[in-house]
């Protein structure tokens, strides 16, 4: 069974989803892939893991790095899981690129290269945004691309984390907008 609840953040309402034991989804309402993993039987019901998730979000939106993460559960391919593990290791207030993640996976797998676009697809799939910090991934050269919650939110999240955003920019054209 799946359950949802809502959290009022400074950047808009967030929907949290759980399987009853772990967080399985966290989306800004209306974002790309919003609720795409939920089944028709999903119920709006406050389960205990939501209290821990709300505590994490309260800490995060207060401008602090949470020192814990609620239980998370992902139902995904091995490749997506690899990408999510790398996202979880991006330090608070730091950014990396899709290309750097692709290089890390290629090294780990003993390959000469890996597609940054494939990494972008996996990052874009992330159903547990913020807790799995996909907003910390930028395009080569500092382009603020590919955040399902919107580029302005991505920038706001990075500023909340006091990331150095001086070299980052919003592209004037392309698929990120």
Report the DSSP beta bridge partners of residue 13: 8
Instruction: Evaluate whether 88 touches 128 at the Cβ level (below 8 Å).
Output: no
CB proximity list for 73: less than 8 A, separation 6 or greater: 19, 21, 22, 23, 24
Q: Report, as residue numbers or ranges, the catalytic residues.
A: 134
- What is the rounded distance in angstroms from the CA atom of residue 73 to the CA atom of residue 17? 10
Q: Which residues of 97-120 are buried (b: 16+ CB within 10 A; e: fewer)?
A: bbbbbbbbbeeeeeeeebebebbb
Instruction: Evaluate whether 119 touches 86 at the Cβ level (below 8 Å).
Output: no
């Amino acid at each position: 069974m799946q359950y949802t609840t809502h959290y009022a953040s400074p950047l808009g309402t967030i929907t949290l989803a759980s399987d009853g034991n772990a967080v399985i989804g966290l989306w800004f309402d209306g974002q790309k892939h919003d609720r795409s993993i939920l089944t028709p039987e999903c119920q709006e019901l406050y389960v205990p893991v939501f209290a821990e998730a709300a505590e994490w979000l309260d800490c995060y939106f207060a401008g602090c790095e949470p020192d814990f993460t609620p239980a998370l559960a992902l139902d995904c391919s091995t490749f997506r899981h690899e990408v999510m593990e790398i996202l979880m290791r991006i330090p608070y207030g730091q950014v990396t690129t899709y290309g750097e993640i692709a290089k890390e996976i290629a090294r780990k797998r003993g390959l000469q290269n890996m597609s940054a676009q494939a990494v972008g697809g996996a990052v874009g799939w992330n159903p547990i945004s913020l807790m799995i910090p996909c907003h910390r991934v930028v395009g080569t050269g500092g382009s603020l691309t590919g955040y399902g919650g919107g580029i302005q939110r991505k920038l706001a999240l990075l500023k909340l984390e006091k990331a150095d955003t001086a070299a980052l920019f919003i592209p004037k054209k392309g698929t990120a907008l």
